[in-house]
Amino acid sequence: MNYYDQHLHTFLSFDSTEQFENYLAYEPEFFVATDHFDLKNPYSDFHDDIPNYQHLVKKHQQLQETTNTHLLKGIEIGVVPGQEQTILDYLQDHPYDLKLISIHQNGTFDYMDDAVLKKDKFDVAKIYFDQMATVLDSFPDGHIVTHFDYGLRRFDFSQEELAHHFETELTAIFKKIVARDLAMEINAKSFGPYKNAPLYEYAIPLYQSVGGKLFTLGSDAHVASDYRLDFAAMSSLLRSFGVTELAVFQGKERFMADLPEV
């Protein structure tokens, strides 16, 4: 199996207008869109953003008649403590092949909001990492933990600052990921556009030091032109730390695929 992008968005997300067909033009063997599920989303005046499942099913049925690509159902779940049971109830009635676990907001603000710029960056990062640790204990579903640095994107953080202030928190988070047999995502938007590659250079060996072996690459594309964004550079970084395979999730099954060639 060739590795395929396991984090991307379509018009079923509140922040994308992209069409499935534009991704399928790349002719991947497998395709999975992971559209946003965010309850009481600050970006939407605290309304619930839930991808239309019936629309997804209908779209897959239409597309499967014209493409040889295997279509899978995916979702990116933004989890806020207190929402766990509501989310689990939804997932019970709406099965997905791939479930991403994300920390986007804390019930008051999204970590990408301008509001965070009025706060101390170390305070915001502490709130973010504490929320991630809580969610990893309280939300039992999912396959991949996405963009560990999302709560840091609006700030400039060095490797040294991350190590000095948050190595204890990150070590605990990575231990939870390992204990639950989840995968750590290398996120292209963080890696490239948000210039956080150095933070991944620090985090990858820390994750490995507590037994972390499962990695994925995700473009986090919201337009088809970003499909497999920075996969070569991210693969090169993983290879430098001895990683040769990536995890692929399809329902209850997990496969290992070769790291894409640089």
Residue 262 has pLDDT above 90, yes or no: no
Could you give the CA distance from residue 9 to residue 1 in angstroms, rounded to a whole number? Answer: 22
What domains are defined for the chain?
A: 20-258 (3.20.20.140)
Neighbours of 106 (CB within 10 A): 17
Looking at residue 131, its pLDDT comes to 99
**Mean pLDDT of the residues in the chain:** 98
Report the DSSP beta bridge partners of residue 185. Answer: 216
- Up-side HSE of residue 29: CA atoms within 13 Å toward CB? 6
Q: Which residue has the tokens 């060639």?
A: 261
Q: What is the pLDDT of residues 138-195, one digit of tens each?
A: 999 999 999 999 999 999 999 999 999 999 999 999 999 999 999 999 999 999 999 9
**pTM for the structure as a whole:** 0.98
Looking at residue 261, its pLDDT comes to 82
Beta-sheet pairing, 30-41 with 70-78: parallel
Contact yes or no for 238/185 (Cβ under 8 A): no
